[in-house]
Amino acid sequence: MMADDLRDRILAAAELCLLECAPGARVHAAIAERAGVSRPTVYKYVGDQDAIVMALLKRDMARMYAAAEAEITKTTSLRERFVDMTVFVVGYARDHALLRKALREEPASVLPWFTVHSEPVIELGIELFAPHVKQSIADGQFPDVDPRVIVEWCCRLILSLITTPGTVQIGDPVSLRRYVEDLLDIGMPR
């Protein structure tokens, strides 16, 4: 079996185990059993519990990006792409079973990944979405600014919408779209 296939199998087992386990449970033995490997193999290919969470986060962000690609490229203006991307990503996160479970049952374990330890999440967001911003700048749709700044601001907005209750109904895409458009009207009128 190829190393990538084995790692993917371990991550799939990890996701199922984390969905089934009680908050705070150590799950290496259950992951190993479900994946049909030894505990040392889980550590070798994925690492400790924090590494498993980060690997799942990176895997699922890449999946989200692949699904978001059609949303991001269906409109031409950066403003519309920003709104579409924000609504899509917040909805994707809202519908993500493992994230919902973690935020509901064990927020203290997941919130650091979206707040004080959010740099890897933001860096991955920049890696995935900065090329779209660069293209919009090259097409003259946006001032010549650092794409990292724009994507980081978008990531911070999205993370806040996912993790922090507020007045906007993030479960309603129409309300969320209106909210993001109102925010953009402050500095980026139509």
pLDDT 10s digits, 52-84: 888 888 888 888 888 887 777 776 677 888 888
Task: Select the more confidently predicted residue: 133 or 33.
Answer: 33
Among residues 147, 107, 100, the alpha carbon closest in space to that of 24 is found at 107
Write 138-143 long-range contacts (CB < 8 A, 24+): 139/76, 141/76, 141/77, 141/78, 142/78
pLDDT of residue 23: 64
pLDDT of residue 175: 92
Burial class (CB in 10 A: 0-12, 13-18, 19+), 162: middle
pLDDT of residue 15: 92
CA 63/CA 45 separation, integer angstroms: 20
Where do the H-state alpha helices sit in the chain? 3-20, 28-35, 39-45, 49-73, 78-94, 97-105, 107-114, 119-138, 147-163, 173-187
**Domains of the chain: residue spans and CATH:** 1-47 (1.10.10), 56-187 (1.10.357)
pLDDT digits (tens, 9 = 90+) for 88-106: 989 998 889 988 888 888 8
pLDDT of residue 189: 56
Task: Select the more confidently predicted residue: 188 or 9.
Answer: 9
With a CB cutoff of 8 Å and minimum separation 6, the contacts of 11 are: 46, 52, 55, 56, 59
Backbone angles phi, psi at 141, to 5 degrees: -90, -10
pLDDT of residue 190: 58
CA 136/CA 27 separation, integer angstroms: 44
Token pair 């919130």: residue? 111
pLDDT digits (tens, 9 = 90+) for 104-163: 888 887 788 888 888 888 888 888 788 888 888 888 877 788 989 988 988 899 999 988
pLDDT at 187 over 70: no
Q: Which amino acid is residue 74, in one-letter code? A: K
Task: Select the more confidently predicted residue: 189 or 171.
Answer: 171
pLDDT of residue 120: 82
